Amino acid sequence: MIQVKHVTKQFIRNKNKHQKESFYADEDLTFDAKDGEIIGILGPNGAGKTTLLRMIAGILEPTSGTITFDGKKYQENEIEIKQNIAYLSGNTKLYDTLSCYELLKMCCDIYGISEQDSQKRIEEISKILKMEPFLYNKIANLSTGQTQKVNIARCFIHDPKYYILDEATTGLDIISSQIILDFIKKEKKRGKTILYSTHYMEEAENICDRVFMIHKGKMLRMGTPKEIKKETNTTNLRDAFFQLIGGASDEE
Amino acid sequence: MKNNLWNILKKELRELFRDKKSLAMMLVIPIFIPLLVIGMSALFESQTNKSVEEFNHIGFAYSLSEEEKQIAKEMKLDVVEGKEQELEKKYQNEEIDLYVTKEENHYIIHSDGSDTSSYATTLVEEYFNLYKQVLQRQYLEDRNVDANEVINAITVEEKVVEEENFFANYIKNYAFLFLIMAITVSATYPATDTTAGERERGTLETLLTFPIKSRDIIVGKFLSVTTSSVITGLISLILAILSLAISKELFSIYEGVDVMYSMTSIFFAVIIIIVYSFFISGLCIAIASTSKTFKEAQSALTPLTFVALFPGMIAFMVGMNTTPLLSIIPFLNYTLIFTDINNGIINGLSIFLMIASTIFYIALVLGYIIHQYKSEKVLFAK
CATH number of the domain that B112 lies in? 3.40.190
What are the pLDDT digits (tens) for A174-202?
Answer: 877 777 788 888 889 999 999 999 878 88
Beta-carbon count within 10 A of B257 CB: 15
pLDDT of A252 strictly over 50 = no
Q: Which of B362, B34, B368 is nearest to B226 (CA)?
A: B362
Is the Cβ of A80 closer than 8 Å to some Cβ of chain B?
yes
pLDDT of A251 strictly over 50 = no
What are the pLDDT digits (tens) for B53-77?
Answer: 778 899 999 999 988 999 999 888 9
Domain that holds residue B70: 53-151
Residue B30 sits in the same domain as residue B106: no
- Residues 3-62 on B with a CB inside 8 Å of A are 3-4, 7, 10-11, 14-15, 18-19
- Report pLDDT for A203: 83
Domain assignment present for B187: yes
Q: Which of A3, A2, A48, A51 is nearest to A30 (CA)?
A: A3
The residue from B110, B126, B151 where one domain ends is B151
Q: Tell me which chain B residue has its CA closest to the CA of residue A13.
A: B382
Residue B189 sits in the same domain as residue B337: yes
Domain assignment present for B305: yes
- Report pLDDT for A32: 92
Domain assignment present for B132: yes
Nearest to B211 among A82, A93, A94 (CB): A82
Chain B residues near residue A94 by CB distance under 8 angstroms? 203, 206
- Report pLDDT for B230: 95
The residue from B92, B125, B151 where one domain ends is B151
- Report pLDDT for B356: 95
Residue B110 sits in the same domain as residue B10: no
Say how far apart CA B137 and CA B41 lie, in whole Å.
44
Is the Cβ of B210 closer than 8 Å to some Cβ of chain A?
yes
Residue B371 sits in the same domain as residue B304: yes
The residue from B122, B151, B180 where one domain ends is B151
Task: Looking at the complex, report in whole angstroms how far the Cα of residue A234 sits from the nearest Cα belonging to chain B.
Answer: 38
Residue B258 sits in the same domain as residue B278: yes
In sequence order, the β-bridge partners of residue A197 are A41, A166
In sequence order, the β-bridge partners of residue B292 are none
* SS3 at position A157: coil
Below-50 pLDDT ranges, chain B: 1, 382
Residue B59 sits in the same domain as residue B40: no
- Report pLDDT for B182: 92
pLDDT of A92 strictly over 90 = no
- Report pLDDT for B202: 83
Instruction: Report the domain count for chain B.
Output: 2
Residue B198 sits in the same domain as residue B286: yes
Query: B interface mutation test: which of A50, A80, A92 has the most B CBs within 10 A?
Result: A92
- Report pLDDT for A250: 46
A80/B211 touch (CB, cutoff 8 Å), yes or no: yes
* SS3 at position A73: strand
Q: Which of A51, A5, A39, A58 is nearest to A217 (CA)?
A: A51
Domain boundary assignment for chain A: 1-84+160-252, 91-159
- Report pLDDT for B161: 56
Residue B95 sits in the same domain as residue B214: no
Which stretches of A74-233 are DSSP H helices? 74-83, 100-110, 115-128, 144-156, 174-189, 201-207, 225-232
- Report pLDDT for A30: 93
Its ipTM equals 0.85
Residue B307 has what DSSP assignment?
H
Span A94-108, average pLDDT: 92
Is the Cβ of B208 closer than 8 Å to some Cβ of chain A?
yes
What are the pLDDT digits (tens) for B116-151?
Answer: 778 888 889 999 999 998 898 888 888 888 888 888
Chain B residues near residue A23 by CB distance under 8 angstroms? none
B201/A57 touch (CB, cutoff 8 Å), yes or no: no
- Report pLDDT for B2: 54
Contact present, B277 and B234 (Cβ < 8 Å): no
Residue B35 sits in the same domain as residue B95: no
B379/A109 touch (CB, cutoff 8 Å), yes or no: no
Contact present, A11 and A26 (Cβ < 8 Å): no
A109/B210 touch (CB, cutoff 8 Å), yes or no: no
Say how far apart CA B350 and CA B275 lie, in whole Å.
14
Kindly write down the DSSP assignment for every residue of B181-230, as one continuous string: HHHHHHHHHHHHIIIIIHHHHTHHHHHHHSS--HHHHHHHHHHHHHHHHH
Domain assignment present for B157: no
Chain B residues near residue A93 by CB distance under 8 angstroms? 201-203, 205-206
What are the pLDDT digits (tens) for A3-31?
Answer: 999 999 988 877 777 788 888 889 999 99
Residue B218 sits in the same domain as residue B312: yes
Domain assignment present for B36: yes
Residues 6+ away with beta carbon under 8 Å from A81 = A58, A69, A72, A74
Task: Return the CATH class of domain A1-84+160-252.
Answer: alpha beta
Residue B62 sits in the same domain as residue B197: no
Residue B229 sits in the same domain as residue B339: yes
Percent of chain A with pLDDT over 70: 96
- Report pLDDT for B1: 47
Domain assignment present for B320: yes
